[in-house]
Amino acid sequence: MDRPESPGRVATTTSTTRSTHPARSSSTRRRTPASGPRAAAATTAVALGLALTGAPAAIAAEPPDVTAADPPEVTVVADGLVGPLSLDATPRGDVVVAQSFAGLLTRLDRTGGRTDLVALPGEEVAGVSAPSAAGVLYTHSLGEGPDAVANLERVDRRGRVEVVADLAAHEQAANPDGGTLYGLRDTAQTCLDQLPEGFPGRYTGEVYSHPYATARMRGGRTAVADAGGNALLSVDVRGRVDVVAALPAQPAVLTADVAAQNGLPDCVVGQTYWFEPVPTDVETGPDGALYASLLPGGPEDPSLGARGSVVRVDPRTGAVTTVLDGLLAATGVAVGDDGTVYATELFGGRVVALAPGADAPITVLEAELPAAVEVTGGDLWVTTQALGPTGQVLRVEL
């Protein structure tokens, strides 16, 4: 298996774009899985170069020059990390980071020491949850299809690993987004028949699990953001999996320029294409709600504009509300004890913060390729330079 690919399946057909996740940028040119309607739809998104319009009402991220009044004090906690796409930290200052491109789960202690807790070369390790007396939770993924691995696992202090939940099996049984219609929902069949070969005009969510992030919930449960299944899940201490919410498809309108540039028939101009939401991170807020970053299907580099967002999900009802949008490749979310929502913009090169009652977010940190973010003990923890072997973990004093 190659390095971890996008959490939602994506194929790339043009020379200008990338898959829907930071695991692959336009400069890496690595193979991406390309089977099934999900891959085909993402291929479509890449080829189209769509501009998102008509997004749900929410607070749009401000330009990068809207920054906090005082520059924060930043400390490099670790460097030389290989694809640090996920991390978590304790109030004591211990950090666990997933080096996803190396298949490593690494503990960073307060003295600068490093210990690899899990080593799975050629496989994906991600979705880290804060260490506890029971151990560290993480997600483990490998391959796709009937024999794919998509697990929530735990490693204890003695290095023993157990599978907490088989999320691939749950996806096979439940397929949370199986009833969601993606693509051109309202376009006439006569128009769909004119689309180029391989262009997915309309399809429903297929069976595919790619667990990508975790967070501890109230009551001892664990929230999982399944980027392949386009859903938030909860797992109890016995490994039972329940669906919290199948996340809503994300709309984009096809313009005349887009149609002309991609050989699409005139009948699609003005039509809305509904992309898969692709959750990339999840956190539990002080209100008990779940907050998830979304990185919609198709490319999330600047070619399509800022389409990422953060949503709030009620774990009791599954109701979804958009909190923050207009993010350029939203790959991480954190929520402070005061309710402030932090989000990383991988290709925006910054971390933004939206305080309760604020009219707009501010930029709290500008950094190269920030991916994961956590807040604890009065500090913000951020992974940067996340797409290669020179990744870092930064501590930012708030």
- The model carries a pTM of 0.84
What does DSSP say about strands 59-60 and 320-327: parallel, antiparallel, or unpaired? Answer: parallel
Amino acid, res. 380:
L
Q: Tell me phi and psi for residue 261, to 5 degrees.
A: -70, -20
The whole-angstrom separation of Cα 42 and Cα 91 is: 39
Provide the residue type at 279 as one letter: P
Q: What is residue 305's predicted lDDT score, i.e. its pLDDT?
A: 62
Domain boundaries, the chain: 36-397
Digits of tens for pLDDT over the chain (398 positions)? 333 344 543 322 222 222 333 333 322 222 222 334 444 444 333 333 333 223 333 444 445 445 666 778 999 999 999 999 999 998 788 899 999 999 999 999 888 789 999 999 999 999 999 777 789 999 999 998 878 999 999 999 999 999 999 999 999 999 999 999 999 999 999 999 999 998 889 999 999 999 999 999 988 999 999 999 999 999 999 999 999 999 999 998 888 887 887 788 999 999 999 999 999 999 999 999 999 999 998 655 554 568 899 999 999 999 999 999 999 999 999 999 999 999 999 999 999 999 999 999 999 999 999 999 999 988 999 999 999 999 999 999 98
Q: How far is CA 34 from CA 52, 172, 279, in A?
A: 24, 19, 19
Distance CA 249, CA 316 (A): 21
Distance CA 150, CA 179 (A): 21
The answer to whether the CB of 344 falls within 8 A of the CB of 372 is yes
CA 118 to chain centre: 22
CB atoms within 10 A of CB 198: 11
* Structure tokens given for 322: 């958009």
Architecture of domain 36-397: 6 Propeller (2.120)
The pLDDT score that the predictor gives to residue 28 is 25
